[in-house]
Structure 1
Amino acid sequence: MTNQSIKIGDIVKVDITGLQKYGAFVKFGKQRGLIHISEIKSGYVADIHDVIEVGQVCQAQVIDVDEFNGKISLSLRTLEKQPQTHHVQRRFHFNNPANKIGFQPFKEQLADWTKEQMTYLKGRKEEI
């Protein structure tokens, strides 16, 4: 299978050849590709090693082919019976009050940061 014969949407049998915290490297035929951690499964994956392992053989779907660089991106998530979109995951994550992200925590800490910075600058001014 050459890059020209691979197209987005193809389902291929892949062999997991390596794992990094950001994704899994795979081999299929003479081709190599990457399954980004966000494409491993629906939902949050804290540690990729908990979900897949080197040597595992599975089916994946081609989701992007970069012909210029020869890179192929694949997904396991798109082959789930009811895959969630990333938007659903993000909405849950950002709307969850237990998560200290977004502008609200920034707003809460801005006064303290400003006070610290002003104290620092005042001290620097006195040194000069």
Structure 2
Amino acid sequence: MTKKYRKDQFVKVKVTGIQPYGAFVKTPDNQEGLIHISEIMNDYVHDINQFLTKGQIVKAKILSVDNDGKLNFTLKDNEYFKNEERKRDRRSVLEQIKETEKYGFETIRQKLPQWIREGKARMRK
């Protein structure tokens, strides 16, 4: 017998597979669901593997339940992932470059005004 799930309910789910667009999960009663890459955190997620691994158990919030019973989850309300997002906000510009940008003088010239704005914003905090 499968349990009835409802929107906004928190459930511990196990990651059963990872794709570039999201992570497949199962509830304790083997009901399937998906955590879309955009639902891991509010910040841009380039690689899901930096946050989730196959076999990992996470507390996720149900966004919706499809007619066929498949569940759509979010991790944005999970305290662990909120803390990860705060850590990313405090990272240095150099760490952000290493993770997402290509190097080169032209690229640096283009990005410099943005980095200056970001640095000034952090100093105001």
Q: For the superposition of Structure 1 and Structure 2, which TM-score range results when normalised by the shorter chain? A: 0.5 to 0.7
What's the C-alpha RMSD, in Å, of the aligned pairs? 2.4
Q: For residue 90 of structure 1, what is the aligned residue in structure 2?
A: none
Q: Which stretches of structure 1, 4 residues or longer, exceed 4 Å deviation after superposition?
A: 81-84
* Unaligned runs of at least 5 residues, structure 2: 86-109, 112-125
Q: For residue 42 of structure 1, what is the aligned residue in structure 2?
A: 42
Task: Give the letter aligned to residue 41 of structure 2.
Answer: K
Deviation at 1:71, TM superposition (A): 2.1
Deviation at 1:51, TM superposition (A): 1.3
Paired residues of 1:9 and 1:61 also in contact (CA < 8 A): yes
TM-score, scaled relative to structure 1 = 0.58
Q: Secondary structure at the match of 1:77?
A: coil
1:31-110 equivalences under 5 Å are 31-67=31-67, 69-80=68-79
TM-score, scaled relative to structure 2 = 0.59
Paired residues of 2:31 and 2:70 also in contact (CA < 8 A): no
Question: Any idea what the Cα deviations from partners look like across 1:2-29, whole Å, max 9, x if unmatched?
Answer: 36x2100110000000000000000112
Q: Tell me the distance in 2 between the aligned counterparts of 1:45 and 1:6.
A: 27
Q: Tell me the distance in 2 between the aligned counterparts of 1:32 and 1:60.
A: 13
Q: Secondary structure at the match of 2:25?
A: strand
Q: How many residues align?
A: 84
Q: Secondary structure at the match of 2:77?
A: helix
Q: Secondary structure at the match of 1:78?
A: coil
